[in-house]
Amino acid sequence: MKTSKSLKILRSYSLLLLLFVFNQNSFAQSDNYWSWNFNTMSMLMAGSVVGGNADASSIYYNPSLITWDEGPSLTFSASLLSIQSYEAENIAGDGIDLDKSIVKIQPRFISFNFKTKNEKLNIEASVLTPVSEDMSYTLQHFDYMDLIERTAGMENYSGYLNYSRKYDDIYIGVGGSYRITERLSVGSSLFVSVKTMKYEYRQIAEAYQDADTVYVDEIPEARYIVESSFEEALNYWDLSLVLKLGAHYRLLNDQIGLGLNFTFPNIPIYGEADVRKSLVRSNVYDNSANQFTTNSVFVEMEEKARTRIKSPFSAAFGMQFSTKSGKSTISLTLEYFHQIDSYALFESDYASGEAPEPWPGWVGSIRLMSYSNSARAVTNFGLGFKQYISPSIQMMGGFRTDFTSGDGDNIRFNQNAFKINQVHFNKYHITVGPELKLRKVRMVTGVQYSFGRNEDILQLVNYSDPMEYNPVSEKSLEGVRQSNSNVAINEISLFLGLTIGSD
């Protein structure tokens, strides 16, 4: 009867699989899907554990492996400290670079694995954070130039840029696996996903003369300040369910392990977003028309807009090979993430027949307070190894790719709609460290080096070659953005994780 009940549970999850497998229009708010690992054996092996050795993170990487854990056991992350160097060349104009160091602490991971009365069935409960990203910086540029053509003399020019984006996706869930035979196991896990985003972007440019009086064709006028600014802020939270199904098979006297894991698009529960946009243009002169443009102040805010945040379908295949002695193991994991069509994060109730100046005219055809996104399909791979040193020490390491799913080179708009401003780049991760065992306590510790690069991407703004007014783009006090920005990221992470209770 216990076995029959377990099979009924598996059939229920299989029905959910049929419901979700064809839902392919999805996206995540992180464009690097393999940035984070957990402070367990999976961390040391660079996430290459779908085919085996997933340890306490089986519930995430391949829930069918839960049954191979001896259990009961408690696993938690003690610490993970990361020091990151972020460099962006020409990000705000030619020669206007960003060089920032960031210290981060990875959110905690905790997992509890326990056996049931049915020896073929294991259960695991866990709280983990698959994605945690935090980036903020400020740039200030000053210059002294003849920018305002209608006035005689030079002007002080300043360009200010402030960017902040913090995104977290926390999983709270339970998983189980059933050993069908001594070689074959299947499993599934179900998580409540709690996604939160706090995003702010500000760019402000001003030009003015120091004197109280300016001269136009030798005629004195009162001093004035030319100003152009754009600000946006988006905060949201979103709840959904995430289902994973996995299978694992052992062959050749358990020397080879093969694993499959499917992660399905999430099931929405509820979410809300607050959004604010502000745009100001004042005293901007259009020299092509010999007249001032209309002064404009646009401020709009919407609260509690209903969100519909999605995560992508992915399919992972893993293979693991161990020598006959069991002292050496190598592993490979491939994971495919489906492409993302243009999709609305949420739809605002604000609508306008015309765009507030000085937004380009085409923006008037969309909902100005809404956000959307798109992404391309990516396939990442990871390689890992494990080497037996002694009964109490094993050395592990690995390498994994982390390709960006960012779609297109325009980081501000997506098919004439606003999207969250984000610089995309490919990343790569190298890990190495030991697992130490003392009786029923296992400790993993090690180091991870991550690096990412992207070249010739579009600038956020161009303050190095500003124009008072560009009648083509309708932009003020900034130049035409160029695709000559180069981004580089280097990161060193130190981590420690403990497992208590399993042999």
Give residue-wise pLDDT tens across range 360-411: 554 545 567 778 877 789 999 999 999 999 999 999 999 999 998 886 555 5
pLDDT recorded at residue 144: 95
Distance CA 203, CA 232 (A): 9
Predicted TM-score (pTM) of this structure:
0.86
Spatial CA neighbour of 400 closest among 82, 28, 34: 34
> Two tokens at 13?
């999850």
pLDDT(24) > 50: no
pLDDT recorded at residue 31: 82
**266-315 tens-digit pLDDT:** 999 999 999 998 989 999 999 999 999 989 888 888 888 888 888 889 99
pLDDT recorded at residue 88: 94
Distance CA 34, CA 59 (A): 16
Q: What is the mean pLDDT of residues 44-66?
A: 92
Distance CA 67, CA 321 (A): 19
- 27: confidence class by pLDDT, cuts 50, 70, 90: very low
pLDDT recorded at residue 414: 59
| Token pair 């709690």 in the structure block, residue | 194
**314-353 tens-digit pLDDT:** 999 999 999 998 899 999 999 999 987 878 887 776 655 4
Distance CA 486, CA 439 (A): 50
Distance CA 27, CA 35 (A): 16
Domain locations in the chain as residue ranges: 2-500
> Two tokens at 345?
């994060």
pLDDT(15) > 80: no
Q: Virtual CA dihedral for 47, 48, 49, 55, nearest 10 degrees?
A: -40
Instruction: Return the minimum-mean-pLDDT range out of 7-11, 56-60, 380-384.
Output: 7-11
Instruction: Return the minimum-mean-pLDDT range out of 166-170, 275-279, 498-502.
Output: 498-502
Share of the chain above pLDDT 70, in %: 86
pLDDT recorded at residue 427: 94
- 78: confidence class by pLDDT, cuts 50, 70, 90: low
pLDDT(19) > 50: no
pLDDT(58) > 60: yes
Instruction: Return the minimum-mean-pLDDT range out of 211-215, 236-240, 303-307, 416-420.
Output: 416-420
- Bigger pLDDT: 414 or 480? 480
pLDDT recorded at residue 11: 43
pLDDT recorded at residue 413: 62
Question: Measuring CA to CA, how many Å separate 189 from each of 104, 250, 416?
Answer: 29, 21, 38
pLDDT(79) > 70: no
Distance CA 111, CA 237 (A): 24
Burial class (CB in 10 A: 0-12, 13-18, 19+), 289: exposed
pLDDT recorded at residue 4: 46
- 124: confidence class by pLDDT, cuts 50, 70, 90: very high
Q: CATH second-level architecture of 2-500?
A: Beta Barrel (2.40)
CA atoms within 13 A on the CB side of 417: 18
Is residue 7 classed as helix, strand or coil in its secondary structure? helix
pLDDT(485) > 70: yes
**179-220 tens-digit pLDDT:** 999 999 999 999 999 999 999 999 999 999 999 899 998 899
Distance CA 450, CA 400 (A): 10
pLDDT(236) > 80: yes
The chain-wide mean pLDDT, for the chain, equals: 85
